[in-house]
Amino acid sequence: MSATVRLVSVQDAYDDLLQRTLSRIPCEFGRLIYLASTRDYNSGTYHHEGLAARFQADTARKALEIAHRQVFYAVSAYSLEDLVSELEAYLQSSRENPEGFLRAWQKLEPYRVAIPLEANPTIARLFLSNIRLALAILRFRREGHPTLP
């Protein structure tokens, strides 16, 4: 397969992923967590049943990887204020108990899995630091004090 044909099909798979799946997730942070969840914890490779059925598994994997990286950089570039709003929207869409959610996220730091494998290390640090701050701010808003982890 030529490189051009391959690039076009990755672009097609990427567009398909945006239209069919990612557009239905209400916030960017939710899209980030969703994309990270399509990655296997052990091998670090991405898999999406529907996308792999419509395109080749390898093409689907590449499209997921690109989408993950793009959404990660978009979220990392948010100002702290915007990130707090995003996290709040994600918290509401999860329908979990807010106190339990905030406590679990501060203690277990599950957002660490949202970092793509090849992410720039400084941006990864900034992302983790901003999430920690956003969680403390959300907790401060609810409880009147930040309750640091």
C-alpha–C-alpha distance, residues 41 and 36, integer Å: 9
C-alpha–C-alpha distance, residues 49 and 64, integer Å: 12
Q: What is the token pair recorded at 26? A: 């209400």
Q: Return the residue of 3, 4, 79, 95 that touches another protein, per CB under 8 A.
A: 79
Q: Return the residue of 49, 104, 129, 143 that touches another protein, per CB under 8 A.
A: 129
Strand, coil or helix: 39 = strand
C-alpha–C-alpha distance, residues 28 and 50, integer Å: 21
Q: What is the token pair recorded at 140? A: 């401060």
Q: In the complex, what is the shortest distance from the CB of residue 133 to another protein, in angstroms, rounded to a whole number?
A: 6
Q: Return the residue of 8, 19, 20, 81 that touches another protein, per CB under 8 A.
A: 81
Of the pair 42, 122, the CB lying nearest another protein is at 122
Q: How many CB atoms lie within 10 A of CB 94?
A: 12
95 contacts another protein (rule: CB under 8 A): no
Q: How many CB atoms lie within 10 A of CB 133?
A: 14
118 contacts another protein (rule: CB under 8 A): yes
Q: In the complex, what is the shortest distance from the CB of residue 127 to another protein, in angstroms, rounded to a whole number?
A: 10
Task: Return the H-helix or E-strand segment holding 9.
Answer: helix 3-16
66 contacts another protein (rule: CB under 8 A): no
24 contacts another protein (rule: CB under 8 A): no
145 contacts another protein (rule: CB under 8 A): yes
Question: Do 47 and 40 form a contact (C-beta atoms < 8 A)?
Answer: yes
- Chain residues binding another protein by CB under 8 A are 76-77, 79-81, 118, 120-126, 129-130, 132-133, 136-137, 140, 145-146, 148
